[in-house]
Amino acid sequence: MSEVEISIMGDMVKVPESLTIIQALEHAGYRLVHGVGCRGGFCGACATVFRRAGDSTLRFGLACQTVVENGMTLAMIPFYPGHRPEYRIEDLSADGDQVLEIYPELVKCFGCNTCTKSCPQGIDVLASVSAVLRGRLEDAADLSFDCIACGLCASRCPAELVKHNVTLLSRRLYGRNLVRRSAHLEKRRAEIREGVFDGALGELKASPVEALKKRYEARVVEAD
């Protein structure tokens, strides 16, 4: 198998060319305690910055999705320390002004669109921020639905805005106050509170692992 030479946080290593960055780290002997999660691009734990050989452009991606290239230089950002004020969602309504009261710095957005260019999910981050500024929380929630809060947009923002936290608040407010409640979900929640499933749950918790595996494999899966 062909190999490529890459720089992982300053250390030069050779790894198979077909590996993702996460796989390359493990192949090189790194023990991943932080900066790894679902491995499928859904948790945002493995945010990575990298440069390609001969290219001065700083690029961004998730280590579980980005394949290594010869001459690549990379570093991981397992957690971005973004500003996150305290608030009680129960005390807020679906009011855009309240979002701006919590994150007043959002009005400093330059509109440079660097946030969108940095997003590994391809989200139009600037459009979602603009929706918040206009008080359109429904639009902000829809536009940022695929956000995994990796923080890469904030790491590149010249105004140092934590846009992933702002849109998270928007989605929470939208989900709590604007989305129409599902009747069958409310019914099931009531059944859970009343203990309807306590017996079945107790049986599952007491079952050995092998029995649980067999039940899982034998489950009825709905057709697409």
Q: Rounded to an integer, what distance in angstroms lies between the CA atom of residue 1 and that of residue 116? A: 36
The pLDDT value recorded for residue 223 is 65
CATH H-level superfamily of 89-177: Alpha-helical ferredoxin (1.10.1060.10)
Every domain of the chain and the residues it spans: 3-76, 89-177, 183-216
Domain spanning 3-76 has what CATH number?
3.10.20.740
The model carries a pTM of 0.73
Each residue's pLDDT, cut to its tens digit, for the chain (224 residues) gives: 799 999 998 999 999 999 999 999 999 998 887 778 888 878 888 989 999 999 988 888 899 999 999 999 999 887 777 888 999 999 998 888 999 999 999 999 999 999 999 898 899 999 999 999 999 999 999 999 999 888 889 988 999 999 999 999 999 999 999 888 889 999 999 999 999 999 999 999 999 999 999 999 998 887 65
The phi-psi region of residue 70 (left if phi > 0; otherwise alpha if psi is between -120 and 50; otherwise beta) is beta
In 3-state terms, what secondary structure has residue 62?
strand
